[in-house]
Chains A and B, each alone.
Chain A
Amino acid sequence: GAGVSQTPSNKVTEKGKYVELRCDPISGHTALYWYRQSLGQGPEFLIYFQGTGAADDSGLPNDRFFAVRPEGSVSTLKIQRTERGDSAVYLCASSLGGVSNEQFFGPGTRLTVL
């Protein structure tokens, strides 16, 4: 079946603008994770959903970042008033649930804030 998909693959925006990044997890995966990967770094945890609720949002850097998963499937990561430091690859992963289960990653969205 299809793996995790993310759209768009690339997003270029201007400082101060609002962006939405979308993640379609593998069907049946209850757990969904967002990570941010800056150049030369490993993925950094942002938020974890179990079903529709955010089980852990401790990785969100500030209140400009927000994510939703209203029906327990597709998730959207929203960034308000983007800053140049938000430029990174945003990765989504899904799993059957629980961090010990294998996480399947999407291809990522490369966000560039000019």
Chain B
Amino acid sequence: AQRVTQPEKLLSVFKGAPVELKCNYSYSGSPELFWYVQYSRQRLQLLLRHISRESIKGFTADLNKGETSFHLKKPFAQEEDSAMYYCALVDNTDKLIFGTGTRLQVFP
């Protein structure tokens, strides 16, 4: 079955520390993966997608097919990065499957 796993419910770091939000997936074939973010009192929004290989707000995510991972990274966390982060995969019926999310807390 196709699945997205985010093993950490909560990740707490201090401002300026590096951040890595883990995402592992199960999918046969070439996956299409996304990171969505939900800031406090705001709606869910797209952060980045692997096909565009972009950096948004200092975040990057690299697809590692060998490890079936798509971890989200930022070298220096900021307080405004505090939010709920969801990894998502397009399944073989063209539906988005979301992980359970990781709450990132960045302390001053």
Binding site for B on A (CB under 8 A): 3-4, 33, 40-45, 48, 56, 58-59, 91, 93, 98-100, 102-108
> Contact partner of A43 among B32, B45, B94, B98, CB < 8 A?
B98
Q: In the assembly, what is the distance between CA of A62 and CA of B46, in Å?
A: 29
Are B43 and A45 in contact (CB-based, < 8 A)?
no
A-B contact count (CB 8 A): 51
Bound CA span A99–B33, Å = 11
CA–CA, A42 and B12, complex, Å: 20
Residues of B within 8 A of A (CB): 4, 9, 32, 43-46, 49, 51, 86, 88, 90, 93-101
Note all chain A residues with C-beta closer than 8 A to B9.
40
Instruction: List the B residue with the shortest CB-CB distance to A59.
Output: B95
